[in-house]
Amino acid sequence: MELQTWIVLIIELIGTVAFSVSGAMVGMRKQMDIFGVIVLGVVTAVGGGMMRDVFLGQIPGAFTKPVYVEAAVVSAVIPFVLLYVNKKLLHSRYQIVYTKIIFLMDSLGLGIFTAMGVSTGVGAGYEKNMFFLCFLGTLTGVGGGLLRDMMAGVPPYIFVKHVYACASIAGAVCSVLVYRRYGQIPSLITGTAVTLLIRLAAAHYRWNLPCVKLEEGRSSINEPGTDKAEKDMPMINK
């Protein structure tokens, strides 16, 4: 196996482990059993790549290369076993630590899989299609986390936290530009780094996109088109 192939494999495995751990941590916070934790970890790790492969008309890599699923299963089981054996780690004072672990693992996985999505698109023959490559990169990056949050019954991270999808899009654009000039490995490193740095900066400086915030105490949202709805238009949160 060539050196470049080994490097790509290692990068993919790091992303798989990172996403699987983040999925497993979400499952444990939702008090899922070990099967639920494993499923959430695997879906988070390979879900985005499977969606990307479907768009490319390929058999999902999770089925042709089971090493990624195996790595995801092991990565989900290890934190579950650690917390199951050592009950002290379940104490509420560790919740901040759990949140930071989920954030870091999720951000690292987002960056790696965003860049891998672009690389896969180039390998499939779409090097000149900037929009499609960025779409594939973003889909690969956010797809697994989106499925994870939907299965866990929480608001998808992609819509509510720290410019999540925007970081992936920025990383994908940089990855495409670097790939065209310098090749695959620099593209993977650049795309991952840009996405990760934006996520870290967004969390540190509390960057968020504008959203609509309803007035406190509102018990329901009026249907659009009604007179009452026109009078009770929500204010834009600045």
The position carrying tokens 């989900």 is 76
105: its two tokens? 């693992």
Residues 115-138 have pLDDT tens digits of 999 999 999 999 999 999 999 999
Spatial distance between the Cα atoms of 138 and 209, rounded to a whole number of angstroms: 17
Q: What are the residue ranges in the chain where pLDDT is below 70?
A: 1, 90, 161-162, 215-238
Count of alpha carbons within 13 angstroms of residue 3, beta-carbon side? 1
Spatial distance between the Cα atoms of 26 and 124, rounded to a whole number of angstroms: 33
Residue 81 CB neighbours (<10 A) = 11
Spatial distance between the Cα atoms of 31 and 7, rounded to a whole number of angstroms: 36
Q: What is the domain range of residue 29?
A: 3-237
pLDDT for 102: 85
Q: How many domains are contained in the chain?
A: 1
Q: Which residues pair with 213 in a beta bridge?
A: 235
